[in-house]
Amino acid sequence: MKTPVKSLVFALCCASLASVTAQADAPPRRIVSVNLCTDQYLLALADRSQIAALTSNADKPEMSAAAAQAHGLRLLGQSAEDVLDIAPDLIIGMPARSSALVAALRGQQYRTLDMHWADSLDDIKAQIRAVASAVGHPDRGKALIARMEHELAALPKPGHGRVAAYYQRRGFLTGTGTLVDDLMSRAGLVNLAARLHKPALSQISIESMIAAQPDFIIVETETDRVTDQGTEMLHHPALEHIARIHIPQAWTVCGGPAYVQAARSLVAQVAAAQSSGH
């Protein structure tokens, strides 16, 4: 039979253990994102009160598709002291442990969620589930995926196998196995990079682009104006006869909910070009 003292100690130990377990199971209350892409997942899935800090580019519309939602939230600087000051109970990054800020915090034990680059809609859905679970709102993740799938299912494929080139400043061409390639397929387009047997990222000259004769050139809206030699080549007169599609970089630089915006815009512009005779 237990003595009263032993019973009291046993009860206190059990109560302490239950408290630790409850804290471990509770949703995090001070979440820090150390990557532009995880900023956007966090803004879509966490309570605003849970978000302790985002990256310095989170509120820049030319960089982030969720810039408007980031206004008013704390943004990290370049010092690891910012993270120390917050004492986060969850750090999310791509991957979090490879972040320069986290690497500088040697000896500190923080819970992390390590994400990886999304190259397809399936990758995005997996990441939504992971973040939604980590922040304590799995149902929000399911609802977001359902909305995205519903909107995407309604989109036509007006490309009909025509060829498109995602052409970036300094002649970079985005290839297969990428998020942009996934978006092209969704619109019914064939990636020129696949036709030319190019890797995920390559460079192609204006002469080679003219010789390839794609039906469309997809460019980032940020390159609509000539700002340097890198953007000047995209405005070469020899390319003017090729139909252009403009997509904000912020919609394609990261996976996430903005995938739907990018897909909708791409489909609409291809359909419009078809109606105008291109």
Cβ–Cβ under 8 Å, residues 60 and 51? no
Reduced to 3 states (helix: H, G, I; strand: E, B; else coil), residue 190 is strand
> Distance from first CA to last CA of the chain, Å, rounded?
89
Cis peptide before 95 (omega within 30 of 0): yes
Cβ–Cβ under 8 Å, residues 215 and 242? yes
Which of 156, 169, 166, 212 shows the shortest CA–CA distance to 191?
A: 166
Reduced to 3 states (helix: H, G, I; strand: E, B; else coil), residue 203 is strand
Q: Which two tokens stand for residue 151?
A: 């909107």
Is the dihedral angle over the CA atoms 106, 107, 113, 116 positive or is it negative?
positive
pTM over 0.75, yes/no: yes
Task: Name 152's Cβ contacts closer than 8 Å, sequence gap at least 6.
Answer: 121, 186, 260, 263
Q: Which domains does the chain have, with CATH numbers?
A: 31-140 (3.40.50.1980), 163-275 (3.40.50.1980)
pLDDT tens-digit series, residues 20-63: 333 446 889 999 999 999 999 999 999 999 999 999 999 999 99
Residue 190 backbone phi and psi in degrees, to 5: -110, 130
DSSP annotation of 105? S
Task: Name 274's Cβ contacts closer than 8 Å, sequence gap at least 6.
Answer: 158
Distance between CA atoms of 60 and 75, rounded to whole angstroms?
A: 11
* Residues in the chain where the model's pLDDT stays below 50: 1-24
H or E stretch at 231:
helix 229-232
Cβ–Cβ under 8 Å, residues 138 and 167? no
C-alpha angle with apex 206: 202 to 211, nearest 5 degrees?
A: 95
